[in-house]
């Protein structure tokens, strides 16, 4: 397998854009990534696109085809990927594999989304064999209620307080004011967060990510091409995909109780473990993490589950400022999805953009000093998980 470089990255700001189609969002991100790489559209040899049912266009998850028609129909092969919130990470994995295998030298990876209002629903089809449909019908448990239950368990096990949960949101928004692509560029006080509306105890409105529109794109290339394009390449150290195990404690038809030492999101843990193994790096080598923070809970649980810190240590890291960009374990120096919102299929590509900017030293006021290795992670409906490690 060949080395793969991130030649260029581009992003459309996150927000709500009723006057723009998902294809328009995509075009702006793609054009930015091409310009960043110094590559013209006809040079792209393949497209790997994260797709979903939300975004319009042709429907059927054909976002990649919409983008190709918008940019210019060159006969380029298109790979459309669907994996819920993990779709962007899946698309990145396919793009990485196409280059690493030697099949193509320049590949575009893109994810874009226009989200409907309100809680994310499943297919909407009354299918009695669909566990997600049954969960929402029988239990009435959309995402925030599920995350609230995870928080309650952590409070019982580690003594996590509502104040500590709120401090994570404060940290995220303190960073986001420096990110021009963030949807919410406003600093919140601890009192602001604790006084925001209770959604599902103990989680409040400012502790849960909203749904947003957004787009991100990445140009991947071979090492030989990277030498022609830049003197400071960022490399893909590993890109991995996983699905959940039956014993991870999330009801998927079998187990409902997490075994000792287990995890509630095995799809994420397995993907991250494989990313470490394939890169040859370990938790101690990580300089920053971009993780999927649908809610503040994940900034506490995930670093512990992946071995980035000890069990029960995450709260103290937040309180001492160690998860800020200048701390010992910078987590979401982008501002995270608490500040951006959830644009499902774009999220994994968004993380690659943010990691690349950090490793290139281009993150301005939110820069992690001397960042050399970054980890990104997504998880999506259906027990899909991805991880990516970039290095310079």
- Give pLDDT tens digits for 276-285: 999 999 999 9
202 and 220 in a single domain? The answer is no
> Quick one: pLDDT at residue 122?
56
CA distances from 314 to 177, 234, 235, 297, 346 (A): 24, 29, 29, 10, 27
pLDDT class of 119 with cuts at 50, 70, 90: low
State the pTM of this model.
0.92
Q: From CA 224, how far away is CA 365, in angstroms rounded?
A: 33
91 and 155 in a single domain? The answer is no
Residue 109 has pLDDT above 50, yes or no: yes
14 and 54 in a single domain? The answer is yes
Token reading at 322: 């160690």
Asked if the structure places residue 131 within a domain, the reply is: no
Domain count, the chain: 2
pLDDT tens figures, 330-342: 999 999 999 999 9
> Quick one: pLDDT at residue 230?
87
316 and 195 in a single domain? The answer is yes
SS3 labels along 283-317 = HHHCCEEECCCCECHHHHHHHHHCCCCCCCCHHHH
pLDDT class of 253 with cuts at 50, 70, 90: very low
> Quick one: pLDDT at residue 256?
46
Residues in Cβ contact with 206 at an 8 Å cutoff, skipping those fewer than 6 apart: 166, 169, 173, 188, 192, 193, 196, 338
Extended beta strands in 166-287, E state: 198-200, 203-204, 213-222, 234-243
167 and 191 in a single domain? The answer is yes
Asked if the structure places residue 121 within a domain, the reply is: no
* Parent domain of 220: 4-116+214-229
Residues in Cβ contact with 392 at an 8 Å cutoff, skipping those fewer than 6 apart: 232, 233, 234, 235, 359, 360, 371, 372
68 and 170 in a single domain? The answer is no
12 and 78 in a single domain? The answer is yes
322 and 384 in a single domain? The answer is yes
Quote the mean pLDDT of the chain. Answer: 91
Last residue of a domain, one of 229, 263, 290: 229
Q: What is the largest CA-CA distance in the chain?
A: 58
Q: What is the rounded average pLDDT of the residues 257-282?
A: 84
> Quick one: pLDDT at residue 383?
85
Residue 150 has pLDDT above 70, yes or no: yes
pLDDT tens figures, 1-34: 899 999 999 999 999 999 999 999 999 999 999 9
Asked if the structure places residue 42 within a domain, the reply is: yes
75 and 200 in a single domain? The answer is no
pLDDT class of 176 with cuts at 50, 70, 90: very high
The CATH number of the domain where 19 resides is what? Answer: 3.40.47.10
Residue 123 has pLDDT above 90, yes or no: no
- Contact call for residues 220 and 44 (beta carbons, < 8 A): no
Determine what percent of the chain is predicted with pLDDT higher than 70.
88
Q: What is the rounded average pLDDT of the residues 197-208?
A: 96
Residue 261 has pLDDT above 70, yes or no: no
Residue 35 has pLDDT above 80, yes or no: yes
Of 36-45, 116-125, 141-150, 215-224, the least confident: 116-125
pLDDT tens figures, 211-244: 999 999 999 999 999 999 988 899 999 999 999 8
Last residue of a domain, one of 177, 199, 229: 229
β-strand 288-290 against 213-222: which pairing, if any? unpaired
Asked if the structure places residue 82 within a domain, the reply is: yes
Residue 136 has pLDDT above 80, yes or no: no
* Nearest one of 369, 36, 362 to 230, comparing CA atoms: 36
Q: What is the rounded average pLDDT of the residues 246-259?
A: 54
């Amino acid at each position: 397998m060949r080395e793969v470089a991130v030649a260029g990255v581009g992003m459309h700001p996150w927000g709500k854009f009723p006057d723009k189609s998902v294809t328009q969002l995509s075009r702006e991100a793609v054009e930015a990534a091409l310009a960043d790489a110094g590559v013209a559209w006809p040079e792209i040899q393949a497209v790997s696109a994260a797709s979903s049912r939300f975004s319009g266009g042709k429907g059927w998850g054909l976002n990649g085809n919409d983008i190709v028609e918008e940019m210019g129909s060159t006969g380029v092969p298109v790979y459309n990927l669907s994996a819920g919130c993990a779709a962007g990470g899946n698309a990145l994995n396919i793009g990485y594999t196409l280059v690493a295998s030697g099949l193509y030298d320049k590949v575009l990876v893109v994810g874009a989304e226009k989200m409907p209002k309100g809680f994310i629903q499943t297919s909407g089809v009354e299918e009695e064999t669909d566990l997600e449909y049954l969960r929402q019908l029988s239990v009435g448990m959309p995402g925030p209620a599920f995350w609230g239950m995870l928080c309650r368990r952590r409070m019982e096990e580690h003594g996590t307080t509502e104040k500590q949960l709120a401090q994570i949101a404060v940290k995220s928004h303190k960073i986001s004011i420096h990110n021009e692509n963030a949807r919410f560029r406003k600093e919140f006080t601890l009192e602001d967060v604790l006084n925001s509306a209770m959604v599902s105890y103990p989680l409040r409105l400012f502790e849960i990510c909203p749904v947003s529109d957004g787009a991100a794109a990445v140009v991947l290339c071979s090492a030989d091409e990277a030498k022609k394009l830049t003197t400071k390449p960022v490399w893909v150290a590993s890109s991995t995909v996983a699905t959940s195990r039956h014993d991870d404690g999330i009801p998927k038809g079998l187990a409902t109780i997490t075994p000792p030492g287990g995890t509630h999101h095995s799809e994420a843990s397995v993907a991250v473990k494989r990313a470490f193994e394939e890169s040859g790096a370990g938790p101690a080598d990580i300089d920053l993490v971009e993780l999927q923070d649908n809610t503040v809970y994940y900034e506490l649980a995930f670093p512990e589950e992946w071995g980035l810190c000890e069990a029960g240590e995450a709260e103290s890291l937040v309180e001492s400022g160690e998860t800020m960009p200048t701390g010992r374990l910078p987590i979401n120096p982008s501002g995270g999805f608490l500040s951006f919102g959830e644009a499902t299929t774009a999220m994994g590509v968004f993380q690659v953009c943010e990691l690349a900017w950090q490793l290139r030293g281009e993150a301005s006021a939110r820069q992690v000093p001397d960042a050399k290795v970054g980890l990104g992670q997504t998880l999506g409906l259906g027990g899909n998980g991805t991880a990516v490690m970039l290095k310079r």
